[in-house]
Amino acid sequence: MALQKAASGGAVSSDFLKQLKGYGLTTAEILYRRPDHRWLLQSYVWQDYDLFPNFPALKDFLAFWQAKLEGPLFSVTVAHSKLIKPAELKAVDGVFRLH
Amino acid at 76: V
- The sheet with strand 73-81 has its strands ordered as 41-50, 24-33, 73-81
Q: Judge whether 39 and 15 are in contact, CB under 8 Å.
A: no
Average pLDDT, the chain: 86
In a 3-state reduction of DSSP, which class is residue 58? helix
| 22 class by beta-carbon count within 10 Å (0-12 exposed, 13-18 middle, 19+ buried) | exposed
Q: Which residues pair with 46 in a beta bridge?
A: 28
pLDDT in tens, 26-55: 999 999 999 999 999 999 999 999 999 999
- pTM check: above 0.75: no
Q: Is pLDDT of 6 > 80?
A: no
Predicted confidence band at 24 (pLDDT cuts at 50, 70, 90)? very high
